[in-house]
Amino acid sequence: MQLTNRRTIAVPRNLGTLLLAFWLIAVGTVSLLSLGSPVLSAVLNLLAVFAGVMLLLERR
């Protein structure tokens, strides 16, 4: 008996661009409102790295 009912997650083709847009908005808002914390900086840095990786993978 084989299970053929597999679920896949549909990833948008422009995920890197969407993440980059979100990162730019978040960084702009943080600097405009003078919000700053080490945790927030770490999250934004991770988001930037992930967006960059996704943009590179989209070029394939």
Distances (CA, A) of 10 to 6, 14, 23, 40, 57: 13, 12, 21, 28, 16
3-state secondary structure of 5: coil
Q: Which residues of the chain are modeled with pLDDT < 50?
A: none
What's the whole-model pTM score? Answer: 0.68
Q: Is residue 6 part of a domain?
A: no
Q: Is residue 4 part of a domain?
A: no
Q: Is residue 3 part of a domain?
A: no
- Token pair, residue 41, equals 């900086």
Q: Is residue 30 part of a domain?
A: yes
Q: Is residue 5 part of a domain?
A: no
3-state secondary structure of 57: helix
Q: Is residue 22 part of a domain?
A: yes
Q: Is residue 1 part of a domain?
A: no
Q: Is residue 48 part of a domain?
A: yes
Determine the pLDDT at residue 21: 92
Domain membership of residue 48 as a residue range? 15-58
Domains in the chain, number: 1
